[in-house]
Each structure stands twice: as C-alpha cells, then as structure tokens.
A and B are shown apart, each in its own frame.
Chain A
C-alpha cells in the first residue's frame, strides 16, 4: 500500500535553532500534503496545506515565518521550525494524497517528536 515516510522520528534541539522535518511519499506522487501538530493527549490540529510547486496555505493562528513549508517536488514536503522554543515541542504529523477531494486516499506519516530544550 501507499507509504508516507517522515524523518526524523525524534529530534531534540536547543532553543533558538532550526529543525527540518521531511515528509516523503514513497510510492505515489503527492500533489497535496498536510502538516498537523499534536500536543500531548490532544487532537491533531491542521497547520498548513501544501500543494506541489506553490506556496503553502496556513491555518489561522499558524505563523508562516516560524513554520516554513516547502513542497518542491511531488514526493517531498519539508517543515522547518525556525528559531525553535520549548513551546514548539510537539508531535508533528504529515499526510499526503495524490488527488483532491475527500474520496482521495489520505496517507499519514508516523510523525516526528520534537523536543526543544
């Protein structure tokens, strides 16, 4: 079946540094990728939608300058957390699809646990 690979699975970084998270679709072309954030014991909150070759669409309240999203190819989207702070510590999950519309399969990565010290 379709696989989405997310890397790294865990990362610890110091406050003030930047961290890049990769989301790859391994066996299909992902025209659209979504980035979610999940705080402990809470639900997933959509951060942004990225379409290949265009700028990401951010949800209200998400700082686009802090969470840089790049979707330069049909198999790779990256989320860069810039100048990370402890409050950015969270579980970040990407999902990908190769079609629009809710009848399209949506495949999730296994997530990245970010800890900012």
Chain B
C-alpha cells in the first residue's frame, strides 16, 4: 500500500539554527512528493513539490527538499529557522491517480527564541 511516513512528531529548534524534517515514502513507482505547512487553525500552504528532474527542490520561505530514491526519502530543510516557521509540516505523496494525496502524520515544529 502507498504510504508516507514522518518519523518525528515534534521537533524543537532554536531560532537561527538549521532544521531538517524527515519524510519517507512507500510507493510502487516514484511518486509525486509535496511538502505543506499548516499554521494553527489554518489550511495548508504548499512549500515545494517534486515531480522529476533535479532531486534538490527549492521552495518558498527559504525551504528546500532533496529526493533520495535509494533511501525513499524526501527530507525538508531550512538553513536558518525564523520564529514564524513554527507550524505543522506535512509531507504528502501521490501516484498516477489524479490529485489524490496521501499525507504523512505531520511534524510540529517549535522554535525557541
């Protein structure tokens, strides 16, 4: 079965420090992969997506993600975290069946001053 896993439920990081959020996928073929951010009580905002080509993907708000087929991973990174980055982050994947996405469990990021 297709699945997306985010191993870390919570991550606390100091402001200005780097951040890496893990995402692993299980699909029969290379899936389309996405990272979304959700602020409390809000909908989802797309940070970046990977379909094919360059495995290092640049997104908005200074985020990037790297697709690693050998590790079935699509980890999200940011070199220097700002307090406004505190939110819930979701990795999502989709196959060929249109726009149906499977979401990971989410990682809540807390930013310490």
A54 at the interface (CB under 8 A from B): no
One of B17-25, B43-51, B62-70, B71-79 at the interface: B43-51
One of A14-22, A65-73, A81-89, A103-111 at the interface: A103-111
**Contact partners of B101 in chain A: CB under 8 A:** 46, 106
Task: Report Cα–Cα, A44/B44, bound state, in Å.
Answer: 10
Which label, helix, strand, loop or mixed, suits the secondary structure of the B interface? loop
Choice from A9, A97, A113 contacting B99 with Cβ under 8 Å:
A97
Which residues of A line the B interface, CB within 8 A? 4, 6, 9, 32, 34, 41-46, 49, 91, 93, 95, 97, 100-104, 106, 108-111, 113
Given A91-B41, A110-B43, list of 19 further CB < 8 A pairs? A4-B43, A34-B99, A34-B100, A42-B106, A43-B90, A43-B105, A43-B106, A46-B100, A46-B101, A46-B102, A49-B100, A93-B43, A93-B44, A95-B99, A97-B99, A102-B98, A104-B99, A106-B99, A108-B36
